[in-house]
Structure 1
Amino acid sequence: MDTCIIKLNVLNLAFGKVSKEYYAPALGGIMLSIGIRLSIDDFALAFKRPLPLSVGYIAQYVLKPVLGLLIAKIFRAPSMFYAGFILTCCVAGAQLSSYASFLSKGDVALSILLTSSTTISSVLMTPLLTGLLIGSVVPVDGVAMSKSILQVVLVPVALGLVLNTYAKAVVNLIQPIMPFFAMACTSLCIGSPLAINRNQILSSHGLMLLFPILTFHLVAFVLGYWFAKFPFLRQDESVCRTISLCTGMQSSTLAGLLATQFLGSTHAVPAACSVVLMAIMGLCLASFWGNGSRIRDIALLI
């Protein structure tokens, strides 16, 4: 048994070292996989559907950061994780939400547009929100954070867009392997903070962090859905499902990278936990909707 534990620790340390070294390139690979799915027509479509896109954007960058701040205060998040938790609530939507929207019979085109717009604007929005919400607790270098996001997010997305626009032959050639490439990059991004911070995650403070993260994602899914259902908005059911999934699922991998670079590796723990929990919760919700179930059915049953 002791031998197995030693081997597991060695593997964790090795994986953590390797994934930490290639964490930023791996995240850039994920963003490249988003970029090659975009075209100029997608952005033109955004201007034709300003209301649902605006609703999702507000839910992403207004409602969710405020929700994260309230939950951190209510649960009295430990100071060693506080800044990382808030940062996790201020990043763009996750590309996995597009797949979840497909499973839920939602609006996949809207999900892609919303994920793309929040990802591109994260260069400005994430440092701005992080500075406003945690700048008084932990110093945040907004300019350096913007440069980092520019390198690992905007440049790969722009490269993918250029390839998809002017080099269709190249895109058609690499398209079949991109899902496997994105999966490998995602595994590195998830495994890095988990492996590096496994001791903090398994500590008493780390286990207590699961409750605020679970609460945050659960409320974010509900808030995103009913916000789009407001009487003065009244979006279609498919749009409400998409906004719910995009609100509850954010790019925690980006949060982990930024936390490691600018706040310290300990602050990457909330992002590491969030990656796993939001993926499980989001895909379960998408399967619930995809099987024909509705939120109102739960309310009537209760």
Structure 2
Amino acid sequence: MNLSVNKQLRIHRPQFSELHSQNLSGTRKLQHPIWPLNRSPPSSPTLSFSRSPGFPFRSGSDFPNWSTRLLVSSCVPEKFSNPPEPIPGPNGESGSAQVPEQKDTSIVKILRESNSLLPHVVLGSTLLALVYPPSFTWFTTRYYAPALGFLMFAVGVNSRENDFLEAFKRPAAIFAVFITPMLSLLLIGKRLPVDVKGMMSSITQIVVVPIAAGLLLNRFFPLICDAIRPILPPLSVLVTALCVGAPLALNIESVLSPFGMTILLLVIAFHFSAFVAGYFFSGLVFHKATDVKALQRTLSYETGMQSSLLALALANRFFQDPLVGVPPAISTVIMSLMGFTLVMVWAKRKE
């Protein structure tokens, strides 16, 4: 029995040795392959010139006199091509590698978001005009109308046709061009001469024409509007700062006088009551509306924010007494500060 087992072992041992030798030879073949003549070996790390990634550069007459960029393409070993290892968390657990997102800090985005600085600019220009009036005295009254026209032009560029179709459906703002001179004649016509036709013409030139020009430019030349739209917000902020600070600086003596203090209290009471009345009365009348809060805030702005810059331009153009420009000058500052304060407060509540 033992002899038969030994014979079987002796018979089968050569088969195991042959199998082992075949495995070894196969491993050697895998480590050092002999490639046939009709096949090329795998590519090794190469150095290539290309104009852009994925576009190989070929020397010759196909691409004469092209500037090239040096790109190094190599076969990366497998151990370096694996995805990044997970970063352990604070408690020892592993998490996926996270690449920090880069915020868009382009110049165009910064210019477009410059309107967010408007409340601070208005406050700063007010303080600067009170502390150092010569910083704004060069911006005389003759610049008020062009400055306001520029602001209206910016409104037209950033508006669409549907916005003005809604305005024609509710023509209260359009009638203001004719109603404002009529009210001036009715209220102060007995004491001061009022040029009704001149006021209508000035309002049309300052408000209607710039808005229409911006709207037509946006309609027929959209590429030009896209080019100038990023620079309009910072320019509008600058012009607004000048329109706020210049009236105070030019009338600093009247503003700081007892007359100016009286006007200041009256203007504060007027705008404050207008903001409050617009908010609460709209809530009482439209209490069944779907979005009452948004409607209340809109009507509060509508009643509290008035055309003080337009009043200032008309006052300095049609009335010779410089004291006529003091109320709209103070109103421009108070109205802007109150309005922007409400914007910031309501924005924080919404967040």
TM-score by length of structure 2 reads: 0.57
Deviation at 1:287, TM superposition (A): 2.2
Rounded to whole Å, the distance in 2 between the matches of 1:28 and 1:46 is: 19
Where 1:18 maps in the other structure, the secondary structure is coil
Q: Is the 8 A contact 2:141 2:316 kept in 1?
A: no
1:258 lines up with 2:314 in the alignment: yes
Where do 1:217-232 residues align within 5 Å?
217-231=271-285
Question: Which of these two proteins has the greater Rg computed from alpha carbons?
Answer: 2
* CA deviations over 1:70-109 (Å, ceiling 9, x no partner): xxxxxxxxxxxxxxxxxxxxxxxxxxxxxxxxxxxxxxxx
Match of residue 345, structure 2, among 288, 297, 302: 288
Letter matched to residue 279 of structure 1: S
Where do 1:142-153 residues align within 5 Å?
142-153=196-207
Rounded to whole Å, the distance in 1 between the matches of 2:255 and 2:136 is: 16
1:162 corresponds to: 216
Letter matched to residue 340 of structure 2: L
1:35 corresponds to: 156
Rounded to whole Å, the distance in 2 between the matches of 1:233 and 1:129 is: 32
Rounded to whole Å, the distance in 1 between the matches of 2:139 and 2:332 is: 19
Where do 1:108-187 residues align within 5 Å?
118=173, 120-187=174-241
2:333 corresponds to: 276
Match of residue 210, structure 1, among 241, 264, 267: 264
1:19 lines up with 2:140 in the alignment: yes
**Paired residues, number:** 219
* CA deviations over 1:101-120 (Å, ceiling 9, x no partner): xxxxxxxxxxxxxxxxx3x4
Q: Is the 8 A contact 1:30 1:182 kept in 2?
A: yes
Deviation at 1:267, TM superposition (A): 0.8
Deviation at 1:35, TM superposition (A): 1.0
Match of residue 299, structure 2, among 243, 249, 253: 243
Letter matched to residue 43 of structure 1: F
Query: Greater share of strand residues, 1 or 2?
Result: 2
Rounded to whole Å, the distance in 1 between the matches of 2:134 and 2:167 is: 44
> Percent identity of the aligned residues?
40
**4+ runs deviating over 6 angstroms:** none
Rounded to whole Å, the distance in 1 between the matches of 2:307 and 2:225 is: 24
Deviation at 1:188, TM superposition (A): 2.3
Unaligned residue ranges in structure 2 (runs of 5+) = 1-128
- Higher RCO by CA contacts (8 Å cutoff, separation 6 or greater): 1
1:69 corresponds to: none
Rounded to whole Å, the distance in 1 between the matches of 2:301 and 2:258 is: 30
Moved more, 38-47 or 237-246: 38-47
Change (3 A) 1:193 1:234: farther
Where 1:230 maps in the other structure, the secondary structure is helix
TM-align CA RMSD: 2.5
Query: Greater share of helix residues, 1 or 2?
Result: 1
Rounded to whole Å, the distance in 1 between the matches of 2:288 and 2:263 is: 35
Rounded to whole Å, the distance in 1 between the matches of 2:227 and 2:348 is: 34
1:194 lines up with 2:248 in the alignment: yes
Rounded to whole Å, the distance in 2 between the matches of 1:180 and 1:143 is: 35
Change (3 A) 1:136 1:226: farther
Deviation at 1:14, TM superposition (A): 7.0
Deviation at 1:265, TM superposition (A): 2.2
Rounded to whole Å, the distance in 2 between the matches of 1:15 and 1:285 is: 27
Change (3 A) 1:44 1:31: closer
